[in-house]
Amino acid sequence: MRLGKRKYLAALTVVLLLFFSGCQNSQPAAQANASVESSGQSGDIVAWGEVKYNDGYQISIDFPARVENIAVKEGDTVKLGSALITLSTDDYQKNLKKLQMQSDSAKASTNNVDQAALKADITVLKNQIAYKTEELRNGRKPELQLLRNSLSLAQKEEKQAQDDLNKYQKLLSDGVISQSDYSKYSDILDQKAKVVKDAKDSITKTKRTLQEELDNLNTQLKSKEVQLSQQESSANAAQIDLDLMSAKTKKPYLSGNNIISNLNSGIVEEINVVRGTVISGQTAQKVINLIDASSVYVSAEVPEEFIGQISADSKVYVVPTSNKNIKIPGHIIQISNQAVEKDGDRIIKVQVKTDEKSDFIKPGLTSDVHFSRESSANGMKGKTN
């Protein structure tokens, strides 16, 4: 009996231990739900929130430089014009000087005597081409005019020889003249026909020669124009390269050799270089990231069953996790139109902007966000997007 009683007591002890262990394991989940519900139906809705930001700026350098000094650390607060990083720009200045010399040289080349001579040659060639084109089109070339006159005369003589031969053909038929006499006039016609043919051939040859001269002049003109264009393009390209390189340092976050904050109020989020880092300039290299402190807000996670009791006009205050003794007033800037799942529950994210600056509202910190309750009907009005 005693042995059986001992076994019973041991079994009962195990059951009780398992029971209490299960109760302890389920306690955090109950507490998590109570963070919103514990205040009761007449109290505020309390949601967990995380401090985030909307606007971040990545500063990159795309010219040759070396990091000389880093004046800030990640998490530091900076103001407009605050020096962040000091650069050595000796290599950049050398490149800039080299490009300036190339640009000056190219400009000088476009303005020198060779440039003027090229332009003069182009003008002369264009005039010659226009003149010879007119000669070819209208036959105003003296040589062509002489040949055309000779052709006209030869054609008249050929016609006269043909008429004579026709007459002598009749005389030959009538037996008035002999065949040998007739052949003389036939030979004369052949001679006149040859003169006509030679004149036509000469005209064709002269025109071909004139066309070849025109082709040659056009080739020379194109060559001169290409030379001129290349010189001008070289000057323009050199100036463009110079302008592009000069523009690389004309940025709102650069002042002399210093990278500065271009934000009225910023937070150093990430530094991507160390002292001595060499920036090649071949591609843009990330140097430092800043957070715009004016864009910082609290993202509160409101369970879906409570979102109907919150509107854009709901009164809000924030209690930072890092200091439960303060209440920071704020206002809603956005109620999301989309629910998301988190830890098996549906939540709606509500963005809250604090009305006062606080050292306890920093990106990454957490807080409790208290919303005044409204009726479900009023809560769905005035939602922001």
Average pLDDT rounded to a whole number, residues 201-226: 86
* Domain spans in the chain, listed from the N-terminal domain onward: 37-55+295-379, 56-90+254-292, 97-247
Q: Tens digit of pLDDT for each residue in 67-94?
A: 999 999 999 999 999 999 999 999 899 9
Q: Identify the weakest region by mean pLDDT among 111-125, 132-146, 187-201.
A: 111-125
CA distance 135 to 117: 27
CA distance 221 to 214: 10
So what's the pLDDT on residue 322?
93
Q: Residue 39 above 60 pLDDT? A: no
Taking the CA atoms of the chain, what radius of gyration do you get in angstroms? Answer: 50
CA distance 256 to 78: 18
Rounded to two decimals, the pTM is: 0.57
Instruction: Output the CATH code of domain 56-90+254-292.
Output: 2.40.50.100
Tokens matching residue 9: 């007591």
Handedness of CA 161, 162, 163, 166 (dihedral sign): positive
SS3 201: helix
**CB of 168 closer than 8 Å to CB of 182:** yes
SS3 347: strand
pLDDT grade for 356, boundaries at 50, 70 and 90: very high
CA distance 338 to 347: 9
CA distance 125 to 227: 14
Q: Tens digit of pLDDT for each residue in 297-336?
A: 999 999 999 999 999 999 999 999 999 999 999 999 999 9
Average pLDDT rounded to a whole number, residues 138-160: 86
So what's the pLDDT on residue 340?
95
Q: Residue 55 above 70 pLDDT? A: yes
CATH fold match for the domains 37-55+295-379 and 56-90+254-292: no
So what's the pLDDT on residue 104?
80
Mean pLDDT of the chain: 83
Q: Tens digit of pLDDT for each residue in 220-273?
A: 888 887 777 766 677 777 788 888 888 888 999 999 999 999 999 999 999 999
CA 94 to chain centre: 27
So what's the pLDDT on residue 111?
61
Express as a percent the part of the chain with pLDDT over 70: 83
Instruction: Output the CATH code of domain 37-55+295-379.
Output: 2.40.30.170
